[in-house]
């Protein structure tokens, strides 16, 4: 039985299989409308989430399955002090597969060790969020047509942003990927990612703190939010925050086919001015999140389409 805890749990060929299946679902969703009939997805959300939980539930419902679960620790036995290990052993008897979000890093890995059903990590603190990575990759593959030969700009909070870390880990396995890392000094990628992932794999990258000057080079721009609380002082935040806001003026420097992705929720880092720009694909990206989760559920449940 397979779980999905880290984006690196999937080999490149397994990843490609999931993305291919997601693309088949996009082309003919009706064909998959009942493949999970009588199957149940448990959504174990120990902290609130809107899009991840709903996209998992939408994915299972689209496959003809059903869903059960809880959406906060307060409404689960965790409030009574039950361990993750005990919870998953019980839930294993109620559902066929589960998606777990937990504020503590590594909780889904603990669950996977005691579970008799596949466990999907739906986000564990600031650590991993593999289905967001799958969503990002499907968006790139669908709208860019490839996952290799890309110059990828990552902008915003690159220090704490788990989606950025997971995406870098996933993309370095494809050919001819280079990164442009755009962030304030204080929010650069962690040293281990620079040394153990980028440099260890001979990946070309540069670190800059001005978005405009690198816009013309990019095939993709992945935006993340720069959170005020990450700065040491308000003065720095005020000085830097506008450098990392994408607006119509900055988009003028971009290639005509550059795509803008964002894991959402957006606050102010992407101006609503560019929502109608065809290169702004973050809402499509959210939609792809449902398809890729459908494909993932099918793969983990080993459901075949006749």
Partner 1 sequence: MLNIGGLTKGIVIDHIAVGGAMKIYEYLNLKDMDCSVAIIKNARSNKMGKKDIIKIETFDINIDNLGVWDSNITINIIENGVIKEKRNPRLPEQVTNIIKCKNPRCITSIEQELKHVFKLTDREKGIYRCIYCEQAFKKY
Assess whether 53 carries a catalytic annotation. Answer: no
Q: Smaller CB distance to partner 1: residue 114 or 174?
A: 114
Give me the residue label for tokens 């494809």: 174
The secondary element (H helix, E strand) that includes residue 205 is strand 204-208
Residue window 171-210: x/- pattern of binding to partner 1, with contact defined by CB under 8 A = ---------------------x---x--------------
Characterize the bridge pairing of strands 259-261 and 220-223. Answer: parallel
With CB under 8 A as the contact rule, the residue among 84, 147, 155, 294 that binds partner 1 is 84
Rounded CA separation 174/167 (Å)? 11
Residue 8 known to bind ligand: no
Residues contacting partner 1: total by CB under 8 A: 17
Assess whether 52 carries a catalytic annotation. Answer: yes
Residues 3, 39, 40, 52: which is the catalytic one?
52
Angle among Cα 141, 143, 146 to the nearest 5 degrees reads 35
The reply to whether 106 sits near partner 1 by the rule CB under 8 A is: yes
Characterize the bridge pairing of strands 40-45 and 97-102. Answer: parallel
With CB under 8 A as the contact rule, the residue among 88, 109, 246, 259 that binds partner 1 is 109
Residue 264 known to bind ligand: yes
Which residues, 6 or more positions from 274, have their beta carbon under 8 angstroms from its beta carbon? 246, 247, 248, 251, 260, 280
Q: Smaller CB distance to partner 1: residue 193 or 301?
A: 193
Closest CA to 305 of 55, 88, 25, 42: 25
Residue 285 known to bind ligand: no
Contact residues for partner 1 (CB under 8 A)? Answer: 83-85, 102-107, 109-110, 124-127, 192, 196
């Amino acid at each position: 039985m397979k779980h999905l805890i880290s984006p690196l749990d999937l080999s490149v060929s397994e990843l490609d299989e999931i993305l291919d299946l997601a693309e088949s679902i996009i082309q003919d969703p009706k064909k998959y409308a009942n493949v999970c009939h009588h199957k149940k997805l448990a959504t174990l959300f120990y902290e609130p989430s809107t899009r991840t939980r709903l996209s998992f539930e939408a994915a299972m419902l689209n496959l003809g399955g059903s869903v059960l679960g809880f959406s906060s620790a307060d409404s689960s036995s965790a409030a009574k002090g039950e361990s993750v290990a005990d919870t998953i052993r019980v839930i294993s008897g109620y559902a066929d597969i589960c998606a777990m979000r937990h504020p503590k890093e590594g909780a889904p890995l603990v669950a996977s060790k005691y579970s008799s059903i596949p466990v999907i990590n739906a986000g564990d603190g600031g650590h991993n969020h593999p289905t967001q990575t799958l969503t990002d990759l499907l968006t790139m593959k669908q709208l860019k047509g490839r996952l290799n030969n890309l110059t990828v700009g990552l902008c915003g909070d690159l220090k704490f942003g788990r989606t950025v870390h997971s995406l870098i880990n996933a993309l370095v396995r494809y050919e001819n990927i280079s990164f442009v890392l755009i962030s304030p000094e204080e929010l650069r990628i962690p040293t281990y990612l620079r040394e153990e992932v980028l440099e260890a794999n001979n990946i070309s990258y540069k670190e800059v703190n001005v978005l405009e000057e690198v816009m013309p080079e990019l095939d993709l721009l992945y935006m993340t939010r720069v959170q005020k609380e990450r700065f040491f002082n308000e003065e720095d935040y005020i000085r830097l925050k506008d450098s990392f806001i994408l607006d119509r003026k900055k988009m003028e420097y971009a290639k005509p086919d550059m795509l803008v992705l964002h894991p959402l929720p957006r606050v102010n880092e992407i101006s609503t001015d560019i929502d109608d720009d065809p290169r702004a694909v973050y809402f499509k990206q959210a939609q792809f999140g449902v398809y890729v989760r459908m494909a993932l559920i099918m793969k983990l449940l080993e459901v075949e389409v006749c």
